[in-house]
Amino acid sequence: MDNKYKTIIITLPVNEQQMAKFDECAGCGRVFYVPQEDLTEELVAEASVIIGWAAPSMIRASEKLELLQLFSAGADAFVAPGILSENTVLCNATGAYGKAVAEHAFALTLMLMKKLYLYRDAQVTGSWTDFGPVTSPGGATVLIAGLGDIGLYYARLMKSMGAYVIGVKRRQYEKPEEVDELVLTGEIDKVLPRADIIMSVLPGTDETRHFYTKERFSLMKKSALFINCGRGNAVESEVLLSALRNGEIAAAAIDVAEQEPLPAESPLWSQENLIITPHVAGSYHLPDIMEGIVGIACENLRHWAGDRQYRNVVDKKSGYKK
C-alpha cells in the first residue's frame, strides 16, 4: 500500500514547531496528533506508525503496525511475546535522556555526600543542627551499573570532579574513555566492595529484576551511597529499606520505585537516610529531552518513508538497543 494511505499517530505533547517537523518528515502518510489518554483500540488498530506510546494491550500484535517509536529509552513493556507482530520494528529514544537523568543523578549524589537532605529536614523543623563530616566526589570510587547514554554522561560528570569510575556492562566491548575500569555484569560482586557510590541505570529486563539482592547490599561498604535512576524493580522495596535501617549502606536516593506511584503508606517515605523523587529525572521538565525525542523520531519517520534503516532499533528478545 502507498504510504499516503497509511496512518501515523503521534502521542507526544509537541508544540507547533515540532508538529511542522513531523509533518515534513512523514512524506505522504496521514499524521494524527492524539494525546496518549485519548487513544482507543480502534485508532491503534489502524496505525502503521505510532510515535510516543500506546498501551501494549491495545496493540495486540497488530499486523498493520510497521514502526513503534517509543518516547522512552526503556522498552521492556513491549518485548513480551504477543505484544508486537514480527513485522513491527521497535525503536526507543536512547540518546534523548542522557543529560537530564545524569544531571539529576549527579544532583542526588551531591545531596547525599554533603548531607543536604538532612539539613533540609532540619530546616523544616527549625533546627540549627550540624550533621558532621561529609564526603567529596574527588577521590571517590564510583560504580555505574548500566553504561549507556545516561551512565556515560554521569561518568563524565563524576570524573570531572576527580572520581575513579568503574563501569558495569552486560557485554564486553572496548573501554570508553569516560570510565577508568570496565567489568561485566556477572563480575559486579567483585567490585561492589570497592565502591563509595553505586549508581544504577539498569533497564527493566528479566535479568535485572531484583538485581540488588540482600546479599549484594551486604557486599557494599557501610559508608556507601546507593542511587537508582534506572528501573524501580531492580531492587525490592523491603530489601532497600532493610539495608538503610540496618546500616548496610549509609544512605540512598531513588527516582524510581518497585511500585509506582509509591504508596503513601510505604515506610520508605519516612526513612531519614533516603531521598525520593517521583520518577521525574527523565520527564519533559528539561526542554532538551523533547527536542531529543523529536529528533530521533523524525529521523526514523524519514527512514520509514524511505530506506527503513532505523536508528535505535530494540532487540525484542533482550529488550536492549541493538
Instruction: Please report the domains of the chain, with CATH numbers, ordered by start residue.
Output: 3-96+286-305 (3.40.50.720), 98-276 (3.40.50.720)
Tell which phi-psi region holds residue 257, choosing left (phi > 0), alpha (psi between -120 and 50) or beta.
Answer: beta
Cell numbers found for residue 282: 527523565
Q: How far apart are CA 233 and CA 211, in angstroms?
A: 8
Q: What is the pTM of this model?
A: 0.93
- Is 35 exposed, middle or buried, given 0-12, 13-18 or 19+ CB atoms closer than 10 A? exposed
Q: Measured at the alpha carbon of residue 139, what is the angle toward residues 143 and 257, in degrees to the nearest 5?
A: 35
| CA separation, residue 165 to residues 147, 151, 155, 181, 273 (Å) | 11, 11, 7, 7, 24
Closest CA to 6 of 60, 36, 50: 50
Rounded mean pLDDT for each run of 10 residues along the chain, 322 residues in total:
81 95 88 95 96 95 96 89 94 95 98 98 98 98 96 98 96 91 96 98 90 98 98 97 98 97 98 97 92 97 93 88 81
**What pLDDT score was predicted for residue 319?**
80
Cell numbers found for residue 113: 555526600
Q: Measured at the alpha carbon of residue 76, what is the angle toward residues 70 and 81, in degrees to the nearest 5?
A: 105
**HSE toward the beta carbon, residue 194, CA cutoff 13 A:** 16
| CA separation, residue 237 to residues 208, 214, 219 (Å) | 15, 11, 18
**What pLDDT score was predicted for residue 2?**
64
Q: How far apart are CA 275 and CA 227, in angstroms?
A: 9
Neighbours of 190 (CB within 10 A): 11
The secondary structure of 235-253, three-state, reads: CCHHHHHHHHHCCCCCEEE
Q: Measured at the alpha carbon of residue 149, what is the angle toward residues 148 and 150, in degrees to the nearest 5?
A: 95
> Dihedral (C-alpha) 76, 77, 81, 82: value to the nearest 10 degrees?
-150
Bridge partners of 143?
166, 198
Please give the distance of CA 213 from its chain centroid, rounded to a whole number: 20
Closest CA to 253 of 284, 280, 283: 280
* Helix 287-305 vs helix 98-113: crossing angle, to nearest 10: 150
